[in-house]
Chains A and B, each alone.
Chain A
């Protein structure tokens, strides 16, 4: 079983829609939960990170963590064509050093 599971999609929605991206995980030792965005032909870039259960908002983006269910989500409000990218969840755990485990990414397309 993979430590982090993410639906690879692809997911295609109309402009302005609310998008929900999700990951589940099995390792309860994960401490930090991150979302990276990767545009085509580019490297991933960090969007947001959270530590505790609950919500964290940054503009149109909201990251949600439910540690009891081992489930994290990223919500995008008022989605724009420029949001079209692959979104990767990542989780970190300290095992002698910090280790980052990535989901496989969800490919998102926002249609104008």
Chain B
């Protein structure tokens, strides 16, 4: 079954730790995204990728970095976590070359930095 996966689902970590949020999709989509979502707030795009070896920053400035070495994998890394990074992180993917770009979302990772 084609799907998009995120791990971990929940993460509680101390300040200064390095963390990597994993995202994988089995739909063969070219484009992948990372959004940040705080309660009651809109989704903010922080990173996206058009394909392997392509990464771009989104609208919201973020201290995180991403990589795209494989089509299906788009991990997000925070080198030194801070309480201000506490949020929900949503990964999504979409198929390039279609008229209406439908984004498919993973279940999200809820991050709490103490």
Contacts and interface: CB of A to CB of B under 8 A. Distances in A.
Interface of A: 2, 4, 6, 8, 32, 41-46, 49, 51, 88, 92, 97-105, 107
Interface residues of B, number: 19
Contact of A4 (B42, B105, B107): B42
Contacts of A32: 100
B40 A105 contact: yes
Nearest to A49: B100
Interface string B28-66: 000000000000111101000010000000000000000
Nearest to A46: B102
Given A46-B103, A49-B102, A103 B108 contact: no
A88 to B, nearest CB: 7
A44 B105 contact: yes
Contacts of A99: 45
Contact of A42 (B45, B92, B107): B107
B106 A43 contact: yes
A39 B106 CA distance: 12
Contact of B103 (A4, A8, A41, A100): A100
Contact of A98 (B4, B40, B101, B104): B101
Contact of A104 (B40, B104, B105, B106): B40
